[in-house]
Copies of this chain bind each other. A is one copy, B any other.
Amino acid sequence: MAEIQGVTARRARVDGERTRRLILHTAVRLATVEGLDGLSIGTLAHATQLSKSGVYAHFDSKADLQLATVDSARALFIDVVVAPVLQLRGLDRLRALCESFLAYVENGTLPGGCFFAAAAAELGGRPGPLRERVAANQKDWIGVLTAAANEAVSRNELRGDTDVATLVFELNALVIAANTAYILHDDPAVLTQARTAIERVILATTAA
């Protein structure tokens, strides 16, 4: 009897986690189109075909749901953009990070393009815990690019006098601009422009 109860409890927990993941997966997609502000227990219940109380069981409040959505988008970003290129080093990794970001946009991973680009623009002028969470993720991404660029300098793949902060600012600007223009105009030409510009920026800083 105790064993059956244990199995039942485990199953309920596994089901609960699966439901929570389904809600958050939906929330990440929805937020890229409707904004983090467009998320509500009601919209998510509708989109996931759960009852409102089914969604409430996982998130106490809209604020709680929004923060969990940012964390879920972070996990997706790491899985899709960052993790696949970690076996590369230095300049190869730096190039591959830009390319995997562009592929994440081009492949329509999320309907409204990069989650963090949309969230940064939405929350920019609104201080608070949600903006802090988004800003921290954005800094982490800059950190990942910076580490790869620094490694490229120490491996003599980029010049020793490279202004790494400016280089990373440029590369990030190019991939984000490609995301925004691609989503706004549905025009793949901007991805080609971004790729050309990225190569130009990198070539300008490679060791002679």
Contacts and interface: CB of A to CB of B under 8 A. Distances in A.
Interface in A67-109: none
A204 interface: yes
Given A33-B126, A38-B37, A125-B113, A169 B184 contact: no
A118 B124 contact: yes
Contacts of A134: 184
Interface stretch (A39-47, A50-58, A189-197): A189-197
Interface in A160-193: 163, 165-166, 169-170, 172-174, 176-178, 180-181, 183-185, 190, 193
Contacts of A118: 121-122, 124
Contact of A193 (B37, B112, B166, B193): B166
Contacts of A63: none
A32 to B, nearest CB: 6
A199 B121 CA distance: 25
B125 A112 contact: yes
Nearest to A203: B204
Nearest to A182: B124
B176 A180 contact: yes
A125 B138 contact: no
Identify the 5 closest CB pairs spanning chains A and B, nearest first.
A112-B125, A121-B121, A173-B177, A124-B183, A33-B125
